[in-house]
Amino acid sequence: MQPSKDSAGALVIGALGAVGIAAAAVAIAGAASPPLAALAAAAIGAQWIAFVPAYLRQTERFYDLVGSATYLSTIAAAVAIASPGARGSVVAALVVVWAARLGAFLVRRVHASGGDGRFDAIKPRPIRFLIAWTLQGLWVVLTSLAAWLVVTDPDPAPLKWTDGVGLALWIAGFVLEVVADRQKSSFRARGASGWIDEGVWRWSRHPNYLGEIVLWTGIVVVGAGVFDGREWLGLISPAFVTLLLLRVSGVPLLEARADAKWGGDPAYEAYKRRVPRLVPTPFRHGAAGSSTPS
């Protein structure tokens, strides 16, 4: 199933908006911290380099691998540049754990399925395919911004209560994302068809995305202990993750694919009315049914 024209238009508009946000954020933060500008340039440059063989071979099989490697390499570079204290070291470790886990999961999934359906209509078109790679670079830059700011902070403050709250949020989001991914994988391994409506997927149609938003919010809360002046641009990180997943490349594409497959099916329409798109709503849940694509 190819994405609709509306979805493709949203991708382009979202990419252009993200470019503007990223350029402004990096320009402002980079003026105070030149290493941030270098990290951003490296993150986006890596995607453009990887785009060339991906387009020539018409494959997206190493898209997620490159994204994860970029997260890992840029946070490692930030640590090498700044030699952070306890707070920065913990944040760097959280990014490493998240990127390594998610990257490994996505790479295994793509190789097991033979591809990623989101790219079917994009790969043959170089501009749109390049936009997808550029979006990944911007995803790395803007989601990592808060973590980079914490790790490279030149005058870290003593640990505060915000560090504990932020860590708790990160753990909650990470656990939710891992559980959601494992439940979806188990559902598929059973050969089930339809939209997943069990486990945490009974409470949200996209619980993995909710987990990701929550964990990056946790990083910002940790950063609240050191942010000052321009460093509050770190708030862009969870805001961008939310925008990207809810308005551009995540939920809109998956919902469009699901609607194309099951739209009009009474059971599916009842499922959509009962299960919120993202944030669970009390008293809205009834009996579970069968399954959502991912």
Q: Is the pLDDT of residue 64 over 70?
A: yes
Query: Mean pLDDT in the chain?
Result: 84
What's the CA gap between 152 and 165, in Å, rounded? 21
Tell me the residue length of the chain. Answer: 294
> What is the DSSP secondary structure assignment for residue 154, as one 8-state letter?
S
What's the CA gap between 69 and 62, in Å, rounded? 10
- With bands split at pLDDT 50, 70 and 90, how would you rate the model's confidence at 72? very high
**Contacts by 14-18, CB closer than 8 A, 24 or more apart:** 14/135, 14/243, 14/244, 14/247, 14/248, 14/249, 15/131, 15/134, 15/135, 15/138, 15/248, 17/243, 18/135, 18/138, 18/142, 18/240, 18/243, 18/244, 18/248
> How many helices (H) does the chain have, and how many strands (E)?
10, 0
**pLDDT given for residue 112 in this prediction:** 74
State the DSSP H helix or E strand holding residue 271, giving kind and residue range, or none if neither: helix 266-274
**pLDDT given for residue 29 in this prediction:** 53
Q: What is the pTM of this model?
A: 0.81
Give the contacts of 229 (CB within 8 A, at least 6 positions apart).
Answer: 32
pLDDT digits (tens, 9 = 90+) for 99-129: 999 888 888 877 777 667 778 788 889 998 9
CA geometry: angle at 20 spanning 219 and 3, to 5°?
A: 85
pLDDT digits (tens, 9 = 90+) for 239-279: 989 988 998 778 988 898 899 999 889 999 999 999 999 99
Helices 236-243 and 207-223, axial angle in degrees (round to 10)? 170
**pLDDT given for residue 226 in this prediction:** 85
The structure tokens listed for 257 are 């694919």
The residue whose two tokens read 């840029």 is 74
Instruction: Kindly provide the b/e burial profile for residues 54-75, where b requires at least 16 CB atoms within 10 angstroms of the residue's own CB.
Output: bbeeeebebbbbbbbbbbebbb
pLDDT digits (tens, 9 = 90+) for 6-52: 444 545 555 555 555 555 555 555 545 568 888 988 999 999 999 99
- With bands split at pLDDT 50, 70 and 90, how would you rate the model's confidence at 1? very low
84 φ, ψ to 5°? -70, 165
